[in-house]
Structure 1
């Protein structure tokens, strides 16, 4: 038997390769498909089937690319949509993979046509269930893609799918969701590498509600919707352009790089926050390389020409991240990085940084500065708020520039400093000059001797939590 869980960092996406007796299937493949081809070939398997659990919104599916290279059959979900490839999965459809059997279960909720797939073993008993975005470790799928007016209906569908179809499979069945912790397809997926139906029945907070009505009320919420989702929804119906036909992004000299930037390209600098603060190309956007899949889709249009600046040579991981989320218009990267840029006597800019201890001392004096906290509302609730801070989640910052004062120094704060630098680069591109970034963020604050107080949630309970945060 062949079984591989293949993870895509940044997107927190899981796909699966299953095989037996020389035949294999891939469930929810990512766009760059070489990993499936290489792993199956190395084990002596051919990929005969590709199965999709739903029309994905957060990454581009690689089904057509695999079929093109292997001749595999594509079975897709969400038949109510106008797909241009594959054949629709139906309730109870069975696919034999050697001595193994995959059965389709219609599990609506996340999308109306979502499917889960039950893997039956050699004895005919269910071994695993691939739930897509219906049920995760510690969470359930978001149900807001049809709009607020449909929340009650879609949350009810999700409840029925989980309780009527997935949980009855048995506590011992291994649960294989399409995402892990950090995905935008749910609000709080747990960091459990492996889980079972029984574990989720015991630990998943959304499976502890006393009634269907309570589940609907708690799960039926509108969540953030990154703009790049629109491209994902479009290309995941037609099939994304084949990566095998794309030209490798070029190494560019400083002169070539500057010419393309002058024509309107977006410069994404994927170095660390400290490197970006020390010197960066004017007008560039700071997104640390591991954060590219999380934030590029919020701040860069999917059709925009893109230039990359990195600490390394060929920025392979960054390019993979961008391709997986539909950013195909990559013009190239700066050959030699910022060293080559400066060797051509080209101008660069800096952003002031400050350590948390220094910020603590400043805040003890006259309040001639402000703190912009770009952590999410959930983070603030859990970890503690900064007194008198301006709270704007980084993903919402472009819609709230008018709330940022320009007549005082603004120090940007987050969990570590990486997102704060992204926010600072956004502000600088909008003309804000009096900006600084707090290095270390909340992590540094907790390691310092600065005063601490209570989280918002602890205030509501009237309890003291030592690890919460206070500034004043």
Structure 2
């Protein structure tokens, strides 16, 4: 896991190489001096873009840790002159203020109807010249009231790419529920117009550069197509196949999960987050110093589930490293210091994930990991772990066992549900713990073991003692008395 810090850059380069091979005349010519890079923020599946020509560049929807843009621009000899935002984002903190502070770039934000504390509001039809290229703002309401897309024209003045933010994705369209259920239909009405009157008429050949990829919480069914076009979406996107506006509204106006941290993102993306400067580094703490801070802090253990189950600091919350972007915002507060337990001393991946979601640098980490905790003689806890086959044999023998299934409703509908299980989606567990029994062993089940260990750590913190994480998933399920339905 220590090499994870370099993963995102390698992914971004691989995307660029693949795309460059398709668009060789444009992307590979030194004479044309064209700069284009898509940067993916792993876990959030968020895309930002660096576009430049003739040594000037703009960044669209930057993330808070901005070193990737500075390094790419500097390496190619470009100066970042502007930052463009497609909308007020809900799932991550924008890096616009940070980039402007480091480069002097102008900031242009969408959703001008809200009270931004930084930058200038974009106007519909506003243009920017970037060398021989031109960007044009297109008002694209629906996901938010003032969303903007940006159409990029090539050196010959032809529409080439459109940066759609959260209006149009590969295989899906943006959520319309962020302003509340009472406004969903109105926002869907606006989004229909955006799609059919503003974006689709741009032409089938125009490349769609969306704000998110598959796995994002900003839509329910984003395709895993890495690149797409207006034509591909017109033909294959299910949300563009509805026969009329009313059918579209019925199909997209639905309430999806809303993580608690979204409110903090909305605030920070209007006010502007505190400046970071360089990527912050947590303080290494001895076991004694770490132990002295337990009462006032929340311990986040980012090791894999088997390591946490074998031994962990009492009261620690288990969220494996790759799960931080998806689950930190559900379970980590903003008003308590965070202490980290990680499996190596390179904390940069953890810090990046957290600051992108508005958390400040953790107060410290356990130097030497759990080994230092053990050698100092401090108490630890364990979580019982059982193979799925053992649980099935236990049930078939008539033993009493409570099963807590923390998968989502969609997962159960798609892959099958366990008859007799208590179904509480992991994200809803803190508010429904009173439904979980305490008079017997609770066997916690998910598609793998990772989310089950998060659930176990939440229950342990709330006072549950008799729990077991079920290792494995439905593939190994073979109970005859407790069937998959």
Alignment counterpart, residue 56 of structure 1, candidates 68, 71, 89:
89
Alignment counterpart, residue 308 of structure 1, candidates 336, 340, 343:
340
Determine whether 1:8 maps to 2:41. Answer: yes
Partner Cα separation in structure 1 for residue 435 and residue 255 of structure 2: 24
- 1:159 alignment partner, SS class: helix
Give how far 1:360 is off.
1.9
Distance in 1 between residues matched to 2:191 and 2:483, nearest whole Å: 40
1:106 partnered with 2:135? no
Instruction: Describe the superposition over 1:11-33 as per-residue Cα deviations: whole angstroms up to 9, x where unpaired.
Output: 11100000111110000000000
- The alignment status of 1:361 with 2:389, answered yes or no, reads no
The aligned residue for residue 251 of structure 2 is 218
8 A contact 1:303–1:329 mirrored in 2? no
Decide which of 95, 99, 103 is 1:66's aligned counterpart.
99
Does 1:373 find its partner at 2:405?
A: yes
User: C-alpha deviations, 1:431-464, integer Å up to 9, x for none?
Assistant: 1111111112x3xx32x372699xxxxxxxxxxx
Which of 341, 344, 347 is the equivalent residue of 2:376? 344
**C-alpha RMSD of the superposition:** 1.6
- 1:369-448 map, 5 Å: 369-440=401-472, 442=473, 445-446=474-475, 448=476
Distance 1:452 1:13, change over 3 A: farther
One of 306, 309, 319 as aligned partner of 1:277: 309
Quote the Cα distance in structure 1 between the aligned partners of 2:92 and 2:362: 17
Q: Spell out, residue by residue over 1:185-227, the C-alpha distance to the aligned partner (whole angstroms, 9 max, x if none).
A: 1112111211111111222111111221111112111111111
Within the alignment, does 1:331 sit opposite 2:359 as a pair?
Answer: no
Asked if the contact 1:360/1:471 (under 8 Å) is kept, the reply is no
Secondary structure in 1 matching 2:135: strand
Alignment of 1:20-419 (within 5 A): 20-244=53-277, 247-262=280-295, 264-328=296-360, 330-419=362-451
- Post-superposition offset of 1:363: 2.2
SS at match of 1:105: strand
Distance (Å, rounded) in 1 between the aligned partners of 2:351 and 2:337: 13
**Cα distance in 2 between the residues matched to 1:300 and 1:230:** 14
Helix, strand or coil at the partner of 1:18: strand
**What secondary structure sits across from 2:363 in the alignment?**
strand
Deviations 1:45-90 (A, max 9, x none): 1101100000111110001111111111111100010001111111
Q: Give 2:17's aligned residue.
A: none
Higher alpha-carbon deviation: 279-288 or 308-317: 308-317
Relative distance call for 1:449 and 1:377 in structure 2 (3 A) is closer
218-227 or 239-248, which deviates more: 239-248
- TM-score scaled to structure 2, two decimals? 0.91
Shift of 1:146: 1.3
2:281, 2:350 → 1: CA distance?
13
The answer to whether the 8 Å contact 1:314/1:333 transfers is no
1:159 and 1:382 map into 2 onto residues whose CA distance is: 29
Residue 177 of structure 1 and its aligned partner are, at CA, apart by 0.8
C-alpha separation in 1, matches of 2:304 and 2:280: 28
Q: Shift of the alpha carbon at 1:126?
A: 1.1
* 1:450 correspondence with 2:450: no
SS in 1 for 2:293: helix
**What CA deviation, in whole Å up to 9, does each residue of 1:270-324 have, x standing for no partner?**
0000000000000000000011111111111122210000111132101110111
SS in 2 for 1:432: coil
In structure 2, how many angstroms separate the alpha carbons of the residues matched to 1:118 and 1:318? 35
DSSP-derived class of the 2:160 partner? strand
Please say if residues 412 and 424 of structure 1, whose CA atoms lie closer than 8 Å, have aligned partners that are also in contact: yes
- SS of the equivalent of 1:55 reads coil
Indicate the SS of the match to 1:29: coil
C-alpha contact (below 8 Å) 1:304/1:329 kept by paired residues: no
d(CA) in 2 for partners of 1:451, 1:151: 43
Of residues 284-293 and 206-215 in structure 1, the stretch that sits farther from structure 2 once superposed is 206-215
CA distance in 2, matches of 1:213, 1:452: 47
SS where residue 176 of structure 1 aligns? strand
Q: Which runs of 5+ in 2 are unaligned?
A: 1-33
Structure 1's consecutive aligned runs of 4 or more residues displaced over 4 angstroms after TM superposition are: none
CA distance in 2, matches of 1:375, 1:208: 30
CA distance in 2, matches of 1:326, 1:162: 31
Contact 1:271/1:286, CA 8 A, preserved across alignment: yes
For residue 277 of structure 2, give the secondary structure of its aligned residue in structure 1: helix
Shift of 1:246: 7.2
